[in-house]
Structure 1
Amino acid sequence: MSNRKPYVREMKRTWWKDHSFYRFYMLREATVLPLILFTLFITFGLGALVKGPDAWATWLDFMSHPIVILINILALAGSLFHAHTFFNMMPQVMPMRFKGKAIDKKTIVLAQWAAVAFISLVVLIIV
């Protein structure tokens, strides 16, 4: 047995701040935080809907609070930012071909946004 100790490089908690790629990555991953709160708000709203009109009115009052509205706006912005980065990455991760020719990356990204717009419109019409 050897008495040598293995080299363990010191890793600071802020290691990701030194490179722009990692800062962008951390920002992208942080978009989940307001989405978690939004999901909790909606879940409690469903519970209030089940409990009756008084609980529903209380939940609606809660949802009209300026801080909750700000959190919801941040959740929407985070969701759109996450979708933007995912859609831009998609053609690199999964290049598509049609009749042997590569489909332009911009076409793939625009098709994804068109699908989001269409689904959003359908949901808006239904609700």
Structure 2
Amino acid sequence: MSNRKPYVREVKATWWKSHPFYRFYMLREATVLPLILFTLFLTLGLAALVKGADAWQTWLNFMAHPIVIAINLVALAGSLFHAHTFFKMFPQVMPIRFKGKTVDTKVLVLGQWAAVAFISLVVLIIV
């Protein structure tokens, strides 16, 4: 048995602040926080819908509060930011080839945004 101690490098809690790439990564990952609240609000809405008209009206009043609206707007912005970074990264991670040539990055990204717009339009028409 060896008496040597392994080298353990000290890692501070703010290690990610020293490099712009890691700051951007942490910002992107932090977009999940308002989305958690948005999901919780919707779950509470479903529970209120099951409980009856009074609970539903209480939930609607809660959703009309300016702080809740602000949280939902931040969640929307975070979701769009997350989608933007994902769509931008997609062609690098999974390049698409068509007839032996790699499809242009801009075409893939615009195609993904077009799909998001189309699906959103369909949902708006249905609802």
Structure 2: stretches of 5+ with no match in the other structure: none
Structure 2 residue 42 is matched with structure 1 residue 26: no
CA deviation map 1:88-121 (0-9, x unaligned): 0000000001111111000000000000000000
- Residues 19-98 of structure 1 mapped to structure 2, 5 A cutoff: 19-98=19-98
Displacement of 1:4 in angstroms is 1.5
- Residues 87-126 of structure 1 mapped to structure 2, 5 A cutoff: 87-126=87-126
- Identity between Structure 1 and Structure 2 (%): 82
Please name the residue that 1:12 is paired with: 12
TM-score, normalised to structure 2's length? 0.99
Instruction: Give secondary structure in 1 for the equivalent of 2:8.
Output: coil
- d(CA) in 2 for partners of 1:68 and 1:12? 34
Task: Give the letter for the 2:103 counterpart.
Answer: I
TM-score, normalised to structure 1's length? 0.99
Task: Give the letter for the 2:77 counterpart.
Answer: A
CA RMSD of the aligned region, Å? 0.5
- d(CA) in 2 for partners of 1:98 and 1:9? 47
- d(CA) in 2 for partners of 1:103 and 1:10? 44
Structure 1: stretches of 5+ with no match in the other structure: none
